[in-house]
Chains A and B, each alone.
Chain A
Amino acid sequence: MIGSRSPLHRIALTALLWAVALLFLIPLLWMISSSLKSNYQIFEIPPRWIPNPPRWENYREALTVLPFHTYILNTAVISTLTIIGHLLSCTLIAYAFARLRARGRDVLFVVMLATMMLPYPVTMVPLYVLFQRLGWINTFLPLTVPAFLGSPFYIFLLRQFFLGIPRDFEDAARMDGANLLQILWQIMLPLALPAMATVAIFTFQASWNDFLAPLIYLQKPDLYTVTLGLQFFRSTYTTNWALLMAASLVTVLPVVVVFFMAQRYFIEGITLSGIKS
């Protein structure tokens, strides 16, 4: 921000920031450490960071006490459908908002942005009633079908991205007689891949971590998502912290993996949006 600094200043600053970073990492490290302890070791005071010996069986136990593989599979199905739904609907809608002129477009766009601010609890009860009347309670439909009808934040994100792509490409294709879907599919989508990856990743993370909606709509244990399974686990085995930590770790692992893989996409998305020329 300001001018050059003395080496001492730089070292102090770096040390401070990394100390804060370590503080941020402690819950994660503590979870890993605790997940490998026996029920006796875990209550040792002062606590030990490196479990000796590490108890790997905790993972097998945690995952078999409750059918976690079912929960993981359920969550994977819901996440995948939600991602597909968002990608299909949001790209189409965002493209229309970015490129097609129509009366009422700007008003509708503002309305859409406003719905982003709408607190979920406001529609919670009527949505439950609606899905109940449709017979959708205890199915994945309330969690996945709405995704196919777009989501304002992602539409906004993709629209901004489309606006950054020069019109020349489309104009050339239109001259060659390409229709709207061909333009979208053949020209815009390849360019928009980084933005779509961002949408997919955000969607995955949100849907994997979602708790309130599954809690309301999924009441049968064999339909539970990982977050519901973990909550059920927690309320049943309150004192078995080692197993709980192991189960928690398995639950967040996919998100951690995707997060580290996706960082590249975020950066690519930023650099690629600078192709205005």
Chain B
Amino acid sequence: MNLERREEVNFYLCISPWLLGFLVFILGPILASFWFSLTRWDLLSPPRFVGMRNYTRMFEDELFWTSLSVTVRYTLMYVPSELIGGLLLALLMNQRGVFGIRGLRTIYYLPSVLSGVAFVVVWMWLFHPEAGLINSTLARVGIDGPRWLTNPQTALTALWIMSLWGLGRTALIFLAGLKQVPPELYEAAAIDGAGTLPAFWNITLPMITPAIFFNLVLSIIATFQTFTSAFVATNGGPLDSTLFFVLYLYRRAFQMFTMGYASALAWVLFVVILALTLLVVRSGRWWVYYEGEAR
């Protein structure tokens, strides 16, 4: 066996765990999921082929539309605020002469490490209608706070605030992007007499479009899959006002055992996320600036 051939064999040997995992845990399940979505199946009796019936049924399923609408509205709320908030925080951190920048970075990042059930529980306590820190603080300035998590009008907003707490990760990715902007650009702009705001619009913003792009894609994909906070804090309620798509899918699969319908829901989710991602990637050609385009 010649050297090149041997290298090739070694390569495939080395990546064989991933290949196996890809086939068994990703590709296989994706195909299986599509097949399931064409059947009616409760796990007990064998699956029965029903064609596209699961998909057409969705049009009449009120909860499908509710969960889709909740998820879309939430994504429209959360993604822009996360990006803008994160960018603002990063811009402030990137200014010269801030004391204790390392400590700040640690504190901002900490919540995104801690997210999960424990802090959903902590936030539930913060949102407590009477004794919670938020409403008792509001009461002190004479505002009668809402019953955050038990009012259909405010529950989604409460989950939004809860998630924004984890904004630090986005801010740090932006900060890394800002650090990459060559200082010469600002010096040149300063010599030309450009003010802070024009410098931001014409230098900073274009230079960090790759970071914005990266954060945007990740944020959309993650937000569309919101589950834990809604499951723990509100369980989809009140009045289905926080019934996220994945929560509905979970119920359909693991509480109602309608595996076929759940798989169809999963495919709809897949297609929606894929379409949105492709849309962003396509649009990226117009607004994402890569240094040395030819790379």
- Which A residues are within 8 Å of any B CB, using their own CB? 1-5, 9-10, 13-14, 16-18, 20-21, 24-28, 30-31, 34, 42-47, 89, 92-93, 95-97, 100-103, 105, 108, 111-112, 115, 117-130, 132, 146, 148-150, 155, 180, 205, 208-209, 211-212, 215-216, 227, 230-231, 234, 241, 244-245, 248-249, 251-252, 255-256, 259-260, 263
Contact = CB atoms under 8 A, between A and B. Distances in A.
A233 to B, nearest CB: 9
A122 B267 contact: yes
A173 to B, nearest CB: 15
Nearest to A21: B107
Contacts of B30: 118, 122-123, 126
Interface in B112-135: 113-119, 121-126, 128, 130-131, 133
Contacts of A123: 25-26, 29-30, 33, 266
Contact of A227 (B97, B113, B116): B116
A122 B114 contact: no
Q: Is the interface of A mostly helix, strand, loop or mixed?
A: helix
B115 A124 contact: no
Given A102-B11, A122-B33, A149-B25, A2 B199 contact: yes
A209 to B, nearest CB: 4
Interface string B9-32: 011101101111110111011101
B32 A102 contact: no
B89 to A, nearest CB: 7
A27 B10 contact: no
Contacts of A155: 18
Contact of B107 (A5, A24, A251): A24
A15 to B, nearest CB: 9
A93 B117 contact: no
24 contacts: A1-B94, A2-B186, A5-B96, A14-B100, A17-B93, A25-B110, A27-B123, A30-B133, A43-B130, A92-B15, A100-B11, A102-B11, A118-B270, A120-B225, A121-B250, A122-B269, A123-B29, A124-B249, A150-B21, A209-B115, A211-B227, A211-B232, A227-B118, A241-B131
B292 to A, nearest CB: 18
B243 interface: no
Contacts of B99: 10, 14
Contact of B190 (A3, A211, A251, A263): A3
A73 to B, nearest CB: 18
Interface in B185-229: 186, 190, 196, 199, 204, 217, 221, 224-225, 227-228
A166 B204 CA distance: 33
B29 A47 contact: no
Contacts of A121: 225, 246, 249-250, 266, 269
B8 A241 contact: no
A65 to B, nearest CB: 15
Contact of A1 (B96, B100, B139): B96
A186 B168 CA distance: 38
A92 B17 CA distance: 9
Contacts of A251: 117-118
B122 A17 contact: no
B29 A119 contact: no
B164 to A, nearest CB: 10
Given A2-B190, A125-B33, A231-B232, A21 B136 contact: no
B224 A97 contact: no
A253 to B, nearest CB: 9
Contacts of B98: 10, 13-14, 17
Contacts of A127: 25, 29
A252 B232 contact: no
Top 8 closest pairs, chain A to chain B, by CB: A149-B21, A96-B14, A209-B116, A126-B29, A102-B11, A123-B29, A126-B32, A10-B97
A175 to B, nearest CB: 14
B270 to A, nearest CB: 5
Interface in B59-110: 89, 91-100, 103-104, 106-108, 110
B7 A100 contact: yes
Given A2-B190, A120-B225, A126 B28 contact: yes
